[in-house]
Structure 1
């Protein structure tokens, strides 16, 4: 007993108390029922165990926070992707609608060509944009230079204004 006990840490003595009994050669059976170290040693052991558990709890909480952040980022990325898909589908529907309108208008109105129909659609979109900008509370002023003719100059002005807005 005296040879083996000093080689073990106190925690190991508590765990191995049943294994220590057969180690005594001259006594047939030794019954170890309890170990009672000094109160300061007990307090120190409790502090060590408490610190280990606290360290484990902090690590687990941090891992949980990490998982929440990763899942939140994944959800945000998926939402942005789906929003982009929705915008792409919306733009395709608009282009398909414009194409159909141009073709039908050109076929039904004698003497019209696709350029005139496009100019008319651009003018309609221009008035829609002016209405939307005028009714938006955060917008102040939009200036789009125009001329008296609604043909190429208006079209050029609208494209110029669009390019200016995109560059800002």
Structure 2
């Protein structure tokens, strides 16, 4: 009867094999005896009594992430979808609570995230939701920590990773943004045009000033030259009136000669008789005399008015 020992050996081998079990790193195994909690086993090789003891389950001690998408309404009546990422883990010293007190931790966490987000977001306008997303995340974390710590879960971090308004709202927001940028661009262009006009006016004013200064210098040099000419003529016995008449007549004929040399000039009729220079001189003297008389009269009237 050689088959009986073989069967016994196989049974003993199966019992021995069933007596050992392994637990992976960052994992905890829950051991039950006759359906009752016995002990929590950490990572490594462990021994259990076959048939009597049973590994009821295993819990990962790694950090896990749960993404929750919530749709809610803001204070300015805009529907928006938020994606909240919750990072959590099972506490090593509370594996019993995490395994036996809570059947579906994902559903529990999701419920609390919905509750907090739908309580916070309706208090904010859409723009504030984008600005204060960290405040929303902190509120979710605080609420989850208070609720899930009793079940053996530690909330590591909560993040609002996405804010997605209604498509029509996004189109309107993009249009508003584009309009604002066009407005700023128009302001910059207006400032540039204004600066260009001001600088052009400054340049023109400087040009006029320099032109006037040039004309003044030119007239000053002409007067100095006439003065020197009169002094030279006086030295040879010609009095001032005769010298002035001679200079005027000379300049008169020099002007006629200069006009005649211009081949493209239009026809100009000027008096060219010798008396023309004398007449021009007499007219100039009379004009200067009348101007001096008018100036003296205005000065005397101003003095009388001040005395009165």
More strand by share: 2
Distance 2:248 2:173 in 1: 82
More displaced stretch, 28-37 vs 62-71: 28-37
SS in 2 for 1:129: helix
Q: How does 1:14-93 map to 2 (within 5 A)?
A: 14-24=130-140, 26-28=143-145, 30-93=158-221
SS of structure 2 residue aligned to 1:60? helix
Give the TM-score normalised by the residue count of structure 1. 0.79
2:268 pairs with one of 120, 124, 141: 141
- Tell me which residue corresponds to 2:121: 5
Query: What is the distance in 1 between the residues matched to 2:242 and 2:123?
Result: 100
- Number of paired residues? 157
TM-aligned CA deviation for residue 86 of structure 1:
0.9
- 1:151, distance to aligned residue in structure 2 (A): 7.4
**1:132/1:5 CA distance change after superposition, 3 Å:** farther
Q: What is the CA–CA distance in structure 1 between the aligned matches of 2:186 and 2:277, rounded to whole Å?
A: 70
Of the two structures, which has the highest relative contact order with CA contacts closer than 8 Å and spacing of 6 or more? 2
Highest CA radius of gyration, 1 or 2? Answer: 2
Alignment partner, residue 123 of structure 1? 249
Q: TM-score normalised to the size of structure 2? A: 0.46
Cα displacement (A) at 1:46: 1.1
Measured on the aligned residues, the alpha-carbon RMSD in Å equals: 2.7
> In 2, distance between residues paired with 1:49 and 1:37?
15
Which protein is richer in helix relative to its size?
A: 1
2:137, 2:160 within 8 Å by CA — same for their partners in 1? Answer: yes
Q: Does structure 2 retain, via aligned residues, the 8 Å contact 1:106–1:114?
A: yes
